[in-house]
């Protein structure tokens, strides 16, 4: 059964566990838990000062309203207190922001690093199925949404709850129950309306996310395959695909904005009705003498202080739901189990003798696609084995299994008489070098790409392996020499140049076991001869597995395995296989005939 195509952003499930996701965020902020507590303490002090402001204002108004004698002394003191409380409110608000900044950005960094590390730990199967553009957008939105969620919780939701509790205590303690009942009834109705309408319109946001990532994936895919697009004159086709997706995104975005305006209007209406009722009660109290002018000012100010952030809380709730939707894909990615893992008791691989053994290995990518069938052979230390056969026979799969990009379905693979499942992946790959059939380079300098095999290597060491790989003169002929940037995926270099960079890179790594997967397939005959002699010199006394299409490159192999339909059909050296007059002899005759035509 094939696995889902991860990396294509899908509509987040409506039954996603938001509270579980929030709990999963806590480890990322736990490092700075002390700062979190200090930020919360600053928040509480700020809110106490904020609620104290209307109380102080009440005393000022009452003092001015009663008699002129007190107005000379009492308001001065209260005005000083009023100004001090505003200073404390503003100061501790900013202090909270300063303290929490390290927590927020550290959490974003840790999430981004953890996600990238998890992506590197996932198997080759996942990376062959993923969409790079879509998954990069998911990662970007995931980090930003993490920051947003922390901001909403610490700077909006918790402060509003704290202020609500303080205002409630004053209204219940000092005034008639009708004030508190009206205020809390309005708040309850407001929250219920916001939750109901927001949930109703959330699918537009989900659809926007999916279409946004899909469009980004299409754009990235078309740019990464720029040459293929040009070969087939399909520029307009790619633009149309992108445009159609963006048109659907536009429609979803308009619907999202329209429904948000409906929600905003409803929220504004609820608050307007609630404030009007409370102010009617307060004004009536002043008229009948049960309340002073200061009480009217206090109630009005508290209503403004409570409903303004509550109005903003509606926006925060929607934004929080959006952020949780954005975060959902990244957290699902982090929960994706690793297919290839080190055993609990895995040890580092030590090479006593660099042997490679396939012990009755079978492998299939899925139940309906059998690739290898009971492959059984052993490469003695220092020997050169070659694998040949038609396309699709499973030759490159052998290399992927040696590196443990996949685990064999049956049988086991051994390196230096150690089952590769019993050693750490890092130590296994440290002792194996490969020149792949399709060389992909980083969008960095040639020097960086070669030094990548050994980041501590000196410039002289890089130059030495470049000479062995017959690429030094070419690099020196470039205007920027070794500092020449090769372009994304190495597109500025030809196939042969990229392959020679790859050969230089594996020579710099200098492992005891070498794998050449069609290592000279992109080279001309002259370069092939030069590199083959260099490879033979470097591979001397190393265990070498050569996956070859050109049989002329492996006539000197100690043993040649002929693979067909995932099974070893023939085995022996060049001369022995020719004497069999089987598959190998047939392939040899065809290639020799083609070579004679080229030479003639």
Please, which pLDDT band fits residue 573 given cuts at 50, 70 and 90? very high
**C-alpha to C-alpha distance for 268 and 393, rounded to whole angstroms:** 69
pLDDT cut 90: percent of the chain above it: 19
Q: Which of 83-92, 203-212, 357-366, 458-467 has the lowest mean pLDDT?
A: 203-212
Other CB atoms within 10 Å distance of the CB of residue 340: 15
Token pair recorded at residue 553: 């490159």
Domain 18-335 has CATH 1.20.1560.10: yes
**pLDDT reported for residue 67:** 56
The owner of tokens 């995926």 is 489
Q: What's the rounded mean pLDDT across residues 118-127? A: 78
The answer for residues whose C-beta is within 8 angstroms of residue 428's C-beta and 6 or more apart is 349, 403, 404, 415, 420
pTM of the model: 0.67
- Secondary structure (DSSP) of 292-353: -HHHHHHHHHHHHHHHHHHHHHHHHHHHHHHHHHHHHHHHHHHHSPPSS---TT-B----SS
DSSP E strands in 470-541: the ranges are 513-517
For 435-510, CATH gives 3.40.50.300
Are 18-335 and 435-510 equal in CATH topology?
no
Residue 359 near residue 412 (C-beta atoms within 8 A): yes
How far apart, in Å, are the Cα atoms of 345 and each of 123, 402, 445? Answer: 20, 20, 40
pLDDT tens, 245-304? Answer: 999 989 888 888 888 888 888 888 888 888 888 888 888 888 888 888 888 888 877 777
Tell me if residue 365 falls in helix, strand or coil: strand
**C-alpha to C-alpha distance for 251 and 228, rounded to whole angstroms:** 31
The answer for residues whose C-beta is within 8 angstroms of residue 284's C-beta and 6 or more apart is none
Please, which pLDDT band fits residue 13 given cuts at 50, 70 and 90? very low
Residue 413 near residue 573 (C-beta atoms within 8 A): no
Q: What's the rounded mean pLDDT across residues 452-464? A: 92
For 342, counting Cβ atoms within 10 Å of its Cβ (0-12 exposed, 13-18 middle, 19+ buried), the class is middle
Q: Which residues pair with 372 in a beta bridge?
A: 363
Angle at 177 between CA 172 and CA 182, to 5 degrees: 100
**C-alpha to C-alpha distance for 14 and 21, rounded to whole angstroms:** 13
Enter the DSSP assignment of 487.
Answer: -
**pLDDT reported for residue 188:** 84
Angle at 243 between CA 240 and CA 246, to 5 degrees: 155
End-to-end CA distance of the chain: 51
The full 3-state SS of 251-305, as one line of letters, equals HHHHHHHHHHHHHHHHHHHHHHHHHHHHHHHHHHHHHCCCCCHHHHHHHHHHHHH
pLDDT cut 70: percent of the chain above it: 88
Each domain of the chain, given as residue ranges in start order, spans 18-335, 435-510
Tell me if residue 15 falls in helix, strand or coil: coil
Residue 419 near residue 477 (C-beta atoms within 8 A): no
- Residues 536-560 as b or e (16 or more Cβ within 10 Å = b): eebbeebbbbbbbbbbbbbeebebb
- Secondary structure (DSSP) of 530-596: HHHHHHHHHHTTSEEEEE-S-GGGSTT-SEEEEEETTEEEEEE-HHHHHHHTSHHHHHHHHHHHHHH
Q: Which of 139-153, 247-261, 410-424, 483-497 has the lowest mean pLDDT?
A: 139-153
Please, which pLDDT band fits residue 1 given cuts at 50, 70 and 90? very low
**C-alpha to C-alpha distance for 278 and 204, rounded to whole angstroms:** 36
Helix 132-151 and helix 68-121, axial crossing angle in degrees, nearest 10: 150
Tell me if residue 369 falls in helix, strand or coil: strand
Ordered strands of the 432-435 beta sheet: 432-435, 513-517, 543-547, 384-388, 559-564, 567-572
**pLDDT reported for residue 280:** 86
């Amino acid at each position: 059964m094939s696995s889902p195509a991860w990396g294509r952003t899908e509509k987040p499930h409506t039954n996603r566990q938001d509270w579980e996701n929030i709990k999963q965020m806590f480890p990322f902020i736990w490092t700075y838990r002390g700062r979190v507590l200090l930020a919360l303490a600053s928040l509480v002090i700020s809110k106490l000062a904020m609620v104290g402001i209307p109380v102080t204002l009440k005393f000022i108004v009452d003092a001015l309203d009663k008699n002129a004698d007190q107005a000379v002394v009492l308001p001065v003191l209260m005005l000083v207190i009023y100004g001090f409380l505003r200073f404390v409110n503003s100061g501790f608000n900013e202090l909270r922001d300063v303290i929490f900044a390290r927590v927020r950005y550290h959490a974003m960094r840790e999430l981004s690093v953890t996600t990238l590390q998890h992506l590197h730990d996932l198997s080759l199967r996942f990376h062959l199925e993923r969409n790079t553009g879509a998954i990069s957008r998911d990662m970007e939105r995931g980090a930003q949404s993490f920051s947003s969620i922390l901001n909403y919780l610490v700077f909006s939701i918790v402060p509003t709850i704290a202020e609500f509790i303080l205002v409630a205590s004053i209204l219940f303690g000092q005034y008639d129950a009708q004030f508190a009942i009206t205020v809390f009834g309005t708040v309850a109705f407001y929250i219920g309306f916001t939750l109901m309408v927001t949930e109703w319109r959330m699918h537009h946001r989900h659809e926007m996310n999916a279409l946004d990532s899909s469009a980004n994936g299409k754009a990235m895919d078309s740019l990464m395959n720029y040459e293929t697009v040009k070969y087939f004159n399909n520029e307009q086709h790619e633009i149309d695909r992108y445009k159609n997706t963006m048109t659907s995104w536009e429609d979803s975005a308009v619907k999202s904005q329209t429904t948000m305006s409906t929600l905003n209007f409803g929220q504004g209406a609820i608050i307007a009705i609630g404030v009007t009722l409370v102010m009617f009660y307060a004004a009536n109290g002043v008229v009948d003498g049960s309340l002073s002018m200061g009480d009217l000012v206090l109630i009005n100010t508290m209503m403004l202080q409570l409903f303004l952030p509550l109005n903003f809380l509606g926006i925060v709730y929607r934004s929080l739901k959006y952020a949780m939707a954005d975060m959902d894909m990244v957290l699902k990615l982090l929960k994706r189990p690793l297919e290839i893992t080190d055993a609990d008791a895995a040890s580092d691989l030590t090479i006593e003798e660099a042997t490679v053994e396939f012990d009755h290995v079978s492998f299939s990518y899925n139940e309906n696609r059998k690739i290898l069938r009971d492959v059984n052979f052993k490469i003695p230390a220092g020997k050169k084995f070659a694998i040949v056969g038609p396309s699709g026979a499973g030759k490159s799969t052998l290399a992927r299994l040696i590196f443990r990009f996949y685990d064999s379905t049956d049988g086991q693979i051994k390196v230096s008489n150690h089952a590769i499942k019993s050693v750490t992946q890092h130590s296994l790959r440290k002792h194996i070098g490969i020149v792949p059939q399709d060389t992909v380079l980083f969008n960095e300098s040639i020097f960086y790409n070669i030094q990548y095999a050994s980041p501590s290597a000196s410039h002289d060491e890089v130059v030495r392996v470049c000479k062995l790989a017959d690429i030094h003169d070419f690099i020196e002929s470039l205007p920027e020499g070794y500092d020449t940037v090769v372009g994304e995926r190495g597109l500025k270099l030809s196939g042969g140049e990229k392959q020679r960079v790859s050969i230089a890179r594996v020579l710099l790594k200098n492992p005891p076991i070498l794998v050449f997967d069609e290592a000279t397939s992109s080279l001309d005959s002259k370069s092939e001869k030069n590199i083959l002699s260099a490879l033979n010199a470097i591979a001397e006394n190393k265990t070498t597995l050569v996956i070859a299409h050109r049989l002329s490159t492996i006539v000197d192999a100690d043993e040649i395995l002929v693979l067909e339909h995932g099974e070893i059909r023939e085995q022996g050296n060049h001369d022995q296989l020719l004497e069999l007059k089987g598959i190998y002899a047939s392939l040899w005759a065809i290639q020799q005939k083609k070579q004679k035509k080229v030479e003639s």
